[in-house]
Structure formats: C-alpha cells, structure tokens
Amino acid sequence: MELFEGQHKEKQQPYIVFDHNIHEFWQNRILNRSYMSQFPGAISLTELAETAQNAGYQVMTADVFLANPTPAGVGFCITEIGSIHTDDLLRRGVIPAIYTCGESPIIAFDFYHNLARYVGRYQHAFLFGGASKRLKGTGVHFHPFFWPNASRQVTPGKPWTQKRKITMINSNKRAFQLRIGSLELHHPLYSLRKIFWYFRNLGIRYCDPWMRSDLYLERLRAIEYFSHEPGFDLYGNGWDTPVHGTGQRYQQSIQKAYRGKIPAGVENKGKVLREYKFAICFENTSFPGYITEKLFDCFFAGCIPIYYGAPDIAEHVPANAFIDFRNFQNYEQLEKYILTMSAEDAARYLQAAAEFLASPAFDKFHVSAFTKQIMLAIEDVAKHNA
C-alpha cells in the first residue's frame, strides 16, 4: 500500500501537510473533490492541494502524516486555526509555514484572543483584515483573507415576478452559550469543567472588544418580524428544536417560518436561493474583512442580499449590488423598501452583482487568487529554508 495515497515517493520530494481542526477533512479527504464540495468554501482546499501536487509536492493531512514515518524532503505546514495535531507536526520537523482562519472572532474566540501566541510561530498568516493589528511586531507576514469562491457564474432561476419574497438560511448556533441540558449530572467533574470553561470564555467576551459584536440576536429579530408576513421562509440546521435563551414569542416565530434543513452541498443552497427575490444575509459578527459565502451565494443565485456584517463591506463589494441593512432605522423601513421595489430597480441590483462577479474586483474572492497567494507564500518559505 502506498504510504500516502495518490503520491509518488521520491527521495527528496517536498511535502505539504494540511493541519485542519475539522476532522471531516482528515484521512486525505481534502483530495476528494466531490466530498469537499459539501462544505462551504472547502473546495478551495482541494484546489490548493491539487495545485501543490502539480507543482511537485506530496500532499497529506496531518493525521495521515503522523501515522506514518516522516518522508524524506522538507515539509511545510498549512494550519487552519489549529488542531490536536499542530504541536506534534512541528515537533516532527514540519516547517510552520502558513496559518489561516475562515472563522469569526466570536466562534474561534480563543484563537483570536490569543492571536499572536497561535500565529507567531508561523511565517505567513492569511486572516480577515481586522486581525492584522494584533500581529504587529510578531514578524509574521500578514495577508488579508478573502473568502474563496469556485465560481463566477450567475444562475438566476425563475423570472423576478414569479419568485417568493424573502428567505433566511442560517444554522441556529450562538456563541458563548452554556446549555444546561448538555451537562451530565452523573459526571460531576465533566460538568464542572464545562461550567468553568463557560465562565472563562464569557470573561474573554467581556474583556475583548472583538467578541462584543454578536449578530445572532439580530437574526432572531428579523425572523420575529418577517414571520408575520406571507412569503418569508427560514431554512437551516437546529431550528427544529427549542432555541436556547429565547422567549415564547421568538419560539413561535421560528416555528411559523421554519421550512427545514437544506441537504449538504453548495448547489442545494443555490437551488433554494434561486426561488427568492431577497435573502437576509447577516454574518454572525461585525468584523473588518469578515465577508463569508452568504453574500456571494446570493449573487450566484440571482437573489438580492440584505447584508449586515463587515463594517468595511463597501470597500470590497460594490454598494449597489446589495441592500445594506445599516441604511434602515428599523424592519418596517426595510420591508417598505423591498415591497415597493420595482422589477427595474431589482434588475439594477442583479446587474451590478453580475458585473462585480465578472470584474477584476472579484478576483481576490476567487479560489484561483487564494491558491496563487498560498503557493507564493510556500515558495517564499521554501526559499528561506533551502
């Protein structure tokens, strides 16, 4: 059996180890294009892995590397947030080359709170723009991370007049929450440890300004408002169970609007979005440069996004391609705006989005730019470790 499936074992062949904290990507699954297409943005890892292979590198995930003898040649580590394997990889002599992160501060809060400690061992960092100031003085080469999309193609679906009004597609996940039902009273040490970490994390939230913008409650307010109007549909994981920390009013609104889960895969989400005129696209936090797939999925589907998230969004995406929620004082104003929008005005939004996708301004959000920048950083590290 080959040591690393699909690789040629040359004596001094350099190699790249992908160190990811999502175990679904282990066992060299990043090389399986159809499998990785199930996860938002994950196909970029496959594109990068294939590009590296074509450039003469062996490619493997951290678990596969650690389960086998260290191959000959120099190795470079690409780490996403960090995993249980990171320290072992570096002890085995893999060069800490690149650190990346596609999560927000309120999800990967320990990582962002201790950014210099985690990233300072590496030579290059690809992070959302707002993270740059915490890496000053570390010697790490900072690169702004832009969400990598594999497409530029718009598939609009039904004519505008035949589409449903508005949707929201989000998982029901909230940061910094302790679910009492998750405690196991017959395992008191486990429960006490969980309570300790909850209060520790809560302390991080209140002392670190990066953790104070949580847009989860704003999503609930949007659901509560639009659920009373016909034509609003909510999709995503976790909404079919009681929503932790909310009152009866929100629970009833969610039950009224919820239409179920969407099967895994970017294309399935696109099929749903193509049925609607508008989509509420609220990120889970407001952080400079934190622009995720939510906005772009709407563009690809010919659906107008109502966006709330990155405060610098207009520096990266044309303001006439989306509806900026910050321009409205309340949901009544927003609803009046979208209800009175003519087909001609809607077409202008959709045209602006399509032109953006086809323009050089979108290049930095395409997977080809992500792959090129990572490989250039690998070459820089290799040059300094020859």
**Chain segment 52-69, per-residue pLDDT in tens:** 999 999 999 999 999 999
Closest CA to 29 of 64, 79, 56, 1: 64
Helix (H, G, I), strand (E, B), or coil: what is residue 85? coil
Query: Residues 100, 41: contact at Cβ < 8 Å?
Result: no
Distance of CA 245 to the CA centre of its chain: 25
> Across the chain, which distance is largest between two alpha carbons, in Å?
68
Q: Which of the four pLDDT bands, split at 50, 70 and 90, describes residue 242?
A: confident
Q: Tell me what pLDDT residue 177 has.
A: 55
User: What domains lie within the chain, and their CATH numbers?
Assistant: 15-150+366-384 (3.40.50), 160-175+214-362 (3.40.50.11660)
Whether residue 185 is predicted with pLDDT greater than 60 in this model: the reply is: no
Helices (H) and strands (E) in the chain, counts: 14, 12
- For the stretch 135-182, pLDDT in tens is 999 999 999 999 999 999 999 889 999 999 999 999 887 754 545 444
What b/e readout covers 263-278, taking b as 16+ CB neighbours within 10 angstroms?
eeebeebbebbbebbb
Measured between alpha carbons, how far apart are the two ends of the chain, in Å?
31
Q: Which amino acid is at 263?
A: P
The H or E element spanning position 278 is strand 276-282
Q: Which amino acid is at 67?
A: A
Q: Which tokens belong to 210? A: 């990066």
